[in-house]
């Protein structure tokens, strides 16, 4: 499907059934983060950690934030782990609200976070090991994420304005609709959810034409790095880093006919009003 045909008849997010079965969700996680881990994703996580570390070190942010949201988690705890070293301890008020729209996705996310809090990292151990190499403050961050997590069912579009000091969102806004206008609205809600100086960490698929969960096709907007940069700036963000992997560095889920050009990551700060 081309961008043009999609624009003529875009799939909007409310037309999608976001109720993944537990089997579909486990298949998705195993395919993307388990045995079939997409290597590009480790690159993005490590780059984000390095960019965040520069900012957190300069501003003295490590261990200081209390309000963070991890949006569209889908049973994947990594976004919370990336934010965790910036957060104060739970008994000092630090919490990461980890959320998703689908009830089963919320239940799976809760289970994952509870396991992490008990130090059972399972398939996330290699992610912890790889990511810690970017900055020593990220050692132990998956376990810390589990302890800081409050898991809730929540629609991104309902995020209250200026409510968060940090937001993590991995492969969500561009992967929940095929309508570019709707994608722009979702990005606006996410950026507006940050208070001035608040930190956004987000990853996105570049040039995706949709993806499979089980045998169901999910929609996507085929964004570029430049486009995401424009969207972020338009929504009041100062960008610390925004970049993507090259099309020569890809690993595909076997049998997935859907294509993408790469994976991107942005770390940005909400400007003061
Ligand atoms: C492509 S998956 C990404 C999952 C995970 N963040 C990851 O890194 O693999 C998109 C996720 O967004 C969730 N989602 C879709 N629409 C949403 C909405 N309006 N609010 C919150 N989450 C939503 C889906 O349920 C799904 O878990």
114 confidence band (pLDDT: 50, 70, 90): very high
Give the pLDDT confidence score for residue 10 in this predicted structure: 66
Q: Are 251 and 39 in contact (CB under 8 A)?
A: yes
Task: Tell me if 89 is assigned to some domain.
Answer: yes
Higher pLDDT pick, 253 / 153: 153
Residue 124 has pLDDT above 90, yes or no: yes
Mutate to test the pocket of ligand 1, among 12, 74, 104, 145 (most ligand atoms within 8 A of CB): 74
Model pLDDT, residue 35: 66
pLDDT for res 237: 98
Q: Write the CATH number for 200.
A: 3.40.50.150
179-188 pLDDT per residue, tens: 999 999 999 9
Q: Percentage of the chain with pLDDT > 90?
A: 72
If pLDDT is split at 50, 70 and 90, which confidence band does 256 have? low
Q: How far is the CA of 146 from the centre of ligand 1 (A)?
A: 19
- Name the residue of 28, 69, 71, 100 to mutate for ligand 1: max ligand atoms within 8 A of Cβ: 100
User: pLDDT value at position 27?
Assistant: 86
Task: Examine residue 96 and state whether it is found in any structural domain, yes or no.
Answer: yes
Q: pLDDT exceeding 70 applies to what percent of the chain?
A: 92
Query: 72 pLDDT band (50/70/90 cuts)?
Result: very high
Answer yes or no: is pLDDT of 137 > 60. yes
Q: Is 102 in the pocket of ligand 1 (CB under 6 A)?
A: yes
Chain center to CA of 147 = 19
Looking at residue 7, what is its pLDDT? 45
Does the Cβ of 76 fall within 6 Å of ligand 1? yes
| 19: confidence class by pLDDT, cuts 50, 70, 90 | confident
Q: Is the CB of 219 under 6 A from ligand 1?
A: no
Closest atom, ligand 1, to C-alpha of 13:
16
- pLDDT recorded at residue 249: 66
pLDDT at 1: 36
In this structure, is residue 13 part of a structural domain?
A: no
245 CA → ligand 1 middle, Å: 21
Q: How many CA atoms lie within 13 A of 141 on its CB side?
A: 30
Fill in the DSSP letter of residue 21.
-
176's CB contacts (< 8 A; 6+ apart) are: 13, 16, 18, 72, 186, 218, 219
pLDDT digits (tens, 9 = 90+) for 225-241: 999 999 999 999 999 99
Residues in the chain: 273
pLDDT level of residue 6 (50, 70, 90 thresholds) = very low
With respect to residue 33, please indicate whether it lies within any of the assigned structural domains: yes
Q: Is 195 left (phi over 0), alpha (psi -120 to 50) or beta?
A: beta
175 lines ligand 1 (CB under 6 A): yes
Instruction: Identify the residue whose C-alpha is closest to ligand 1 atom 15.
Output: 176
Which protein residue's CA is at the shortest distance from atom 4 of ligand 1? Answer: 74
Q: Are 49 and 82 in contact (CB under 8 A)?
A: yes
If one counts the domains in the chain, the total is 1
3-state secondary structure 219-263: CCCCECHHHHHHHHHHCCEEEEEEEECCCCCCCCCCCCCCCCCEE
Q: Is 14 exposed, middle or buried (0-12, 13-18, 19+ CB in 10 A)?
A: exposed
Look up the domain containing 172 and give its range: 3-8+19-270
Beta strands in the chain (DSSP E): 67-71, 95-100, 149-153, 164-170, 194-206, 211-213, 216-218, 237-244, 262-270
Residue 138 domain-assigned (yes or no): yes
Average pLDDT for 63-69: 98
In a domain, 14, yes or no: no
């Amino acid at each position: 499907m081309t961008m043009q045909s999609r624009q003529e008849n875009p799939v909007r997010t409310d037309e999608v059934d976001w109720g993944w079965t537990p089997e579909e969700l486990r298949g998705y996680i195993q395919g993307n983060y388990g045995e079939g881990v997409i290597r590009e994703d480790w690159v993005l996580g490590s780059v984000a950690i390095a960019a965040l570390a520069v900012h957190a070190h300069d501003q003295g942010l490590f261990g200081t934030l209390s309000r963070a949201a991890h949006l569209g988690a889908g049973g994947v705890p990594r976004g919370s782990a990336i934010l965790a070293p910036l957060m104060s301890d739970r008994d000092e008020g630090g919490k990461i609200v980890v959320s998703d729209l689908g009830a089963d996705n919320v239940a799976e996310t809760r289970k994952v976070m509870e396991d992490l809090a008990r130090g059972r990292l399972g398939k996330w151990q290699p992610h912890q090991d790889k990511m810690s190499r970017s900055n020593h403050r990220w050692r132990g961050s998956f376990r810390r994420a589990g302890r800081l997590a409050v898991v809730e069912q929540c629609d991104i579009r309902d995020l209250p304005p200026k409510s968060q000091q940090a937001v993590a969102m991995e492969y969500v806004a561009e992967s929940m609709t095929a309508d570019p206008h709707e994608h722009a609205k979702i990005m606006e809600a996410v950026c507006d959810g940050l208070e001035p100086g608040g930190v956004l960490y987000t990853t996105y698929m570049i040039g995706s034409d949709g993806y499979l969960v089980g045998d169901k096709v999910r929609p996507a907007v085929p964004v570029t790095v430049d486009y995401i940069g424009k969207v972020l700036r338009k929504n009041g963000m100062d960008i610390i880093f925004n970049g993507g992997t090259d099309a020569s560095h890809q690993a595909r889920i076997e049998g997935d006919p859907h294509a993408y050009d790469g994976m991107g990551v942005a770390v940005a700060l909400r400007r003061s009003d």
